[in-house]
Amino acid sequence: MKKLRVVISTLATAALVTGMVPFTQTSTVAAKKASPKPIAKVALVPLDDRPVNTYFPQMSARAGGVEAIMPDEDMLGHFMTPGDGEEIGDWLIKQASKVDGLVISVSMLAYGGLVASRTDQQSYEDALSNIKAIKKLRDKNSKKPIYVFDTIQRLAVTATDPETLKYYEQIREWAILYDEVHNLGMTEKKDRLDQLEREIPESVLEDYLNARERNHKINSLLIDWVEDGTIDYLVLAQDDAAPHGLHRAERETLVKKAKELDVEDRVAIFPGADEVGTVLLSRLALNEMRIHPKVAVEYSGIEGSEWTAPFEDTTFDVNVEKHIIAAGGKPVRDEDDADIVLMINSPKKKGQSTAERREDLDEFVEDINDLLEEGKQVAVTDVTITNKADPELIERLQEEVKLRELFAYTAWGTAGNNMGSALGQALQRSAFLEKGNQFGVPLTVDAAEAHINLLLSSFVNDHHYRNEVMAEARNLVKELKGNEWNLGDDYDEVNDFVRDALMPHAEEWYENYFANQSLVIGKRGKNTFEGEIEELADIEIKLPWERLFEVFVGPEVKIERE
C-alpha cells in the first residue's frame, strides 16, 4: 500500500486549519410543443441525460415562459457512456449568439457527465481543454450571463453491479474514517480504517483519489474564472456526502478561496447536485424579468436548524437559504411578507410519538390550505424519506388540497435535490404570473400546461413509482436473475412492465385531481385569467437508464383558456 498512501497524502492528510486539500427526455414529450415566442431563450448543458437534469429543468423553465435548449442527446452520452465535451463546447459557441444566457454543467463539459466525473478516465489536461469553451464564450459574448455549476465529488463511487455496490459502501466508509482519524484525531477508529485499506483494491482507491484531485483542481480554477469575470455566477454543489469525509477539506479550501478573492456573492457552495440546473435556470429567468420573489419556509416536523439531512453536511436551514438565493429568490422569515411559502415536510421531531407526528401532518396540510385561501403561492417539498414521497403526506394532500393550485411538489431525491427543484419551479412560475398577462395567449397557455405536466409527473414518479411500482419491478428483476443497477438484456421486459404498471396510476392522478379543473394561468393588475385542464392528450413512461433507480413520466395535458 506504499504507493497508495503517497497518493492519499497529496489530497487528504492535511488538517482543515491549514486550508490544504488534498437520452434527454425532452426530445419526446417536452419538445412536442416548444414554448411559442418565449420571454427568453437559454442554452443548458445538463449534468447528464436523466430526467431530473433534462426534463425537469426544461419544463420548469417553460412553466416560466422561458425556452431552455440543450445539445442533441447523442452529445450527452448515456448511463455509463460519457458525453462528448469537445462537441458540446462547439455546440455552445454556435448557440451563444442565439440565446439570452447560458447555464453550463462542468461535470458534463469537462468529463462527460456526473458518473464519468467520478472516475479518472479523463485527464486534467483534457478536462481543462474542454472547459476552455467557457473562456471562448465570454470573449465572443461579453454581456450575456454565463452561469456554471460543478460538483464536489461525493464520498462513494457509482454502483452498477454487486461488486461495485460493495465498493460503494466500503469507499464511502473509508473516506469518512480517513477524515475522522487523520484530521479529527479519532484514533480509536484506526483499526477499522486499516482493515478497509486492506480490503479495497489499491487500483479502486487510486482511481477514486485521482478523480477527486483532478476535480478539485478544476473547481478551484472555476473560482478564479469568477474573479476574472469569465463566469458570472458559480455553484459548487456538494454531491452525496456526510458531516465528515474527504470532501470537508476540499469544501473548506474552496470556501476560503472564494472569500480571499472577494467573490463570495458570486460563488455558492452547498449540498446538492441534480437540482442545480433547475436552480440556475430560475436565477437567469428571474434576472431577465427583474423579479425576485420573497420566500418563507415552514416545516411539518423538525426545524431545519436542528437537522442535517442524509447525504448532506450542513444543517438544512442553511442549505435552504443558500438555494433560495442561488435560484434568484429572497429569503424572508415572515409568511405575511412572502410571495411564496415553501412548505417542507421534514422528519418528525425528536422523541415524538406516531400520534403526535400525525397531528403535525394534519396541521401542516391545514396550513397549506389556509395559505392557498389567503392567495399565497405554495410549493411543497417532501424531505422525510430519501428518494421517495411520504405516503402519509400524499394521502392528506389527495384528500384535502387542490393539487393543481400548488406551485411545486417534489420528493424524488435527497433533501437538497427536492428542495432546490421545488424552488426552481415555483420561483419561475411565480415570476411569470407576476409579470402579468403581457405575453399573449399562446405563451400563457403553454406555460400553464408545462407547469401542470410537471406537477402531474412529480406525483406519479415520486410517490407511485418510488413507493410501489419500483418494488414490483425489483421483484421481476429477481425472477429474471438480473441486476437492477444494470438491466442489460432484461431492459425491454422490465421497461414494459414498469410502463404498464405505472400508466393506470398516472391516468388516475389526472382524472381525480386535474381533469376539468380550473387554475389561474395569467394576471393583469388585480384581474386574473383562468384556464381549464381539458385533456390528457398523451403520456410517456419509460426507464431512462438501464436501471430501476429512476423513471421518466412525461404527460402532455391540454389547457383551454376560459
pLDDT score, position 437: 63
Using the 8-state DSSP alphabet, how is residue 346 labeled? P
pLDDT score, position 204: 87
| Residue with grid cell 420528493, as numbered in its chain | 411
User: For residue 221, how many other CB atoms are within 10 A of its CB?
Assistant: 14
pTM (whole model) above 0.85: yes
pLDDT score, position 2: 33
Task: Tell me the three-class secondary structure of 256-277, residue by residue.
Answer: HHHHHCCCHHHEEEEECCCCHH
pLDDT score, position 383: 98
Give strand pairing partners of 528: 523
pLDDT score, position 21: 32
Count Cα atoms within 13 angstroms, Cβ side, for 558: 7
The span from the CA of 283 to the CA of 277, in Å, is 10
Please state whether 113 falls in left (phi above 0), alpha (psi between -120 and 50) or beta.
Answer: left
Grid cell locating 154: 461525493
The span from the CA of 19 to the CA of 368, in Å, is 45
Helices (H) and strands (E) in the chain, counts: 19, 14
pLDDT score, position 30: 44
Q: Which residue segments constitute the domains of the chain, with CATH numbers given?
A: 35-154+213-290 (3.40.50.2300), 292-433 (3.40.50.280), 436-561 (no CATH)
Q: At what angle do helices 202-227 and 124-140 cross, to 10 degrees?
A: 20
The span from the CA of 252 to the CA of 237, in Å, is 13
The span from the CA of 502 to the CA of 507, in Å, is 9
Please list the rounded mean pLDDT of every run of 10 residues in the chain (562 residues).
33 35 41 68 98 98 97 95 97 96 98 94 96 96 93 84 78 92 93 93 90 96 98 95 90 96 98 97 96 98 96 95 98 96 96 95 98 96 97 97 98 98 98 83 94 98 98 98 95 98 97 96 83 96 97 97 84
pLDDT score, position 7: 33
pLDDT score, position 227: 98
The span from the CA of 561 to the CA of 105, in Å, is 37
